[in-house]
Structure 1
């Protein structure tokens, strides 16, 4: 068997260079031509079957081992965020208003490293490996687009297993992996509400139909809904992040609008809250003689790890890095992921990797912060784990 930890350590310098090159030229959304070009250049000469996306700048690479019809899919997201970087690093973003504030540059580098190691150790693979480099995770459903374009069957048959890593700039010690069986991350949807009333003079509200207090009541009522209608042990989170109404203090506007994010941890509550939230807002508006136009914008489903595969990831991580290199994840987090779409279709597991630059990770800036920093010393660890998971899983698939 290969010593993937040692082999990954040997290419750590290359992984850092790739990561920092990508970090300096972040791209947002589904169209990431510069990032795609960097990935293609890094994979050149490895003998992989490579295809690029039609609706997005994705890269799908297939490593053929030829020993069986089994397939494992390894995934990394590629896109950045619309954030101006304030982190004090030598490889700071050179693009105004764009930053790899969620560590996707590290994900790409780790997956490129895994491709290099698995090509080198191709003889140990009892099946094929699909490397999924995905744009548009940050709200653009890149995974959904890639699934439509056939990434799950890129090897000629549907993948049997899938694994992916996400780095965290805080929340866990650097170099430590963590995951859990079952629900790992929440679903994410939005509710957009427009309360339609009738404008008028602020001194004579009785002659108008003021939408602002009605919309404000909806904001409060949504919080009451989740605390009185949903089980606290299967939580729902609703946060209103936008509220817009009016142009001047003494003018009652025709409309008031707000938007909220909805997070749930089970498919059942996801379905239910979308119905209940709409009913509540419409009923409140009707009670005051106004109208509510309510739209639910569906985004990402709950991220659910296969129980057996999550335990497998934990076992492999502990064996590779020692018990100090792996911790059981105590509970799910309310962040959301479009990798959930892959996990809905293929048995597998997502895993977090601590990449804090501080000895006390609780003092580190969180993912998405303009000051977020990620310790690229962990890159070889991610590469080693992905490589080990690919080899072992292909040998264990029935």
Structure 2
């Protein structure tokens, strides 16, 4: 247990962002040494794939951890806090340590294991689609045959310690974006009637985005649209902008709703621009798909969780609107994403992704044991 805490804190002190994580990769490989695993690394990203073959034939199960940090300056005050301008503010350091712990536990019982476990350590979860890249590089074929199930445990610093949270079906939303450029003519700020000013048009577009979901989409299949970037090209306070660029973040729970947004929203924004003499250009950027927990696999997972956690199991009534690129794996392999509460006992953590997010790493052994139990039960089903 102390080894896992030490590993987690080492990883926490050396966070790396994106797809190129050489120190993190090296630390994981070193932590897996001596377990007689088939270890390979990615070509286009600093991934680690480790295959554990059991003592008797059986199916393949995949367990996944993400590896990357966020570009957040840490303000927790912890004695092992990061000082390099990045931070494991989403708990990926715990995910890595937990998966290493699972690999060690399963390796210790290798001869009893009827099948194979693939350990997937994935960079680039925070917006870089590392999961998709690992699929393209063949992680699902690492053991020689495709997994029959895939599981991931994601920690949460604002969920009370010891709670296990999941649901069948859609678990987390897709994430996409619409880039918008509103072009006018620019001009003198004192003479707006001699110009076509795109700034008030962009303001009207922002308001239209905010009301779009409420009037264009069914409440039974919602979406969340947020304007996250807004910038004009004006260079001085007395110069009207020639153009304004903005970006809309789009979260949806079904491909049907996302398709409606993709078709209807650009038409609406273009019409607003034309009504004011502006041209509007849009670019849709498709990103993470909906994270969908397989109903059958999740029924078995919930049975395990009920046995282990009792009344601490939370069955979410609705999916969340955040996104996860484990969704790419779940599109190809039936499986389940589970959230594990590791909020500090004093409840003093900031929210996930904040500079004050703190996690109770005394629960790392529990985290590792849950991954082991999910893999073991699936292989012996």
Which TM-score tier does this pair reach, normalised by the shorter chain?
over 0.9
Aligned counterpart for 1:373 among listed residues 358, 369, 373:
358
Bigger shift: residues 224-233 or 61-70: 61-70
TM-score (norm 1): 0.93
Question: Is 1:178–1:353's contact at 8 Å kept on the other side of the alignment?
Answer: yes
Q: Is the 8 A contact 2:349 2:359 kept in 1?
A: no
Return 5+ residue gaps in structure 2 as ranges.
Answer: none
Asked if 1:389 is matched to 2:374, the reply is yes
Instruction: In structure 1, list runs of 5 or more residues that go unmatched.
Output: 1-11
| 1:82 match | 71
Q: Distance in 2 between matches of 1:110 and 1:269?
A: 36
* Shift in CA distance, 357/217, structure 1 to aligned 2, threshold 3 Å: same
Aligned to 1:129: 117
Q: After superposition, give the CA deviation of every residue in 1:250-294 in whole Å (9 maximum; x if it has no partner).
A: 221110111121101112111221121111111211222211111
Deviations 1:206-262 (A, max 9, x none): 211111111111111112221011011211111111111123332211101111211
* Correspondence 1:229-378 to 2 at 5 A: 229-245=216-232, 246-321=234-309, 323-359=310-346, 361=347, 364-378=349-363
Q: How does 1:16-27 map to 2 (within 5 A)?
A: 16-27=5-16
Runs of 4+ in 1 over 6 A off after TM superposition: none
For 1:300, what is the secondary structure of its paired residue?
coil
Cα deviation 1:172-221 (Å, max 9, x = unaligned):
21121110001111111111111011011122212111111111111111
Name the SS of the counterpart of 2:98 in structure 1: helix
Aligned equivalents of 1:226, 1:176: Cα separation in 2:
33
2: distance between equivalents of 1:131 and 1:199?
56
Distance across 1 between alignment mates of 2:357 and 2:59: 39
Q: Is this contact kept in 1: 2:170–2:319, CA < 8 A? A: yes
| Alignment partner, residue 6 of structure 1 | none
When structure 1 is superposed on structure 2, of 71-80 and 198-207 the one drifting more is 198-207
Check whether the contact 1:187–1:263 (CA below 8 A) recurs between aligned residues: yes
Distance 1:149 1:66, change over 3 A: farther
In structure 2, the residue matched to 1:203 is 190
8 Å contact kept, 2:55–2:110: no
RMSD of aligned C-alpha atoms?
1.3
Counterpart residue number, 1:116: 104
8 Å contact kept, 1:183–1:304: yes
Instruction: Tell me the residue number matched to 1:175.
Output: 162
CA distance in 2, matches of 1:269, 1:151: 30
2:251–2:321 contact (8 Å) kept in structure 1: yes
What TM-score do you get using the length of structure 2 for normalisation? 0.97
The offset of 1:33, in angstroms, is 0.5
The whole-number CA distance in structure 1 between the counterparts of 2:280 and 2:289 is 26
- Work out whether residues 178 and 314 of structure 1, in 8 Å CA contact, stay in contact via their aligned partners in 2: no
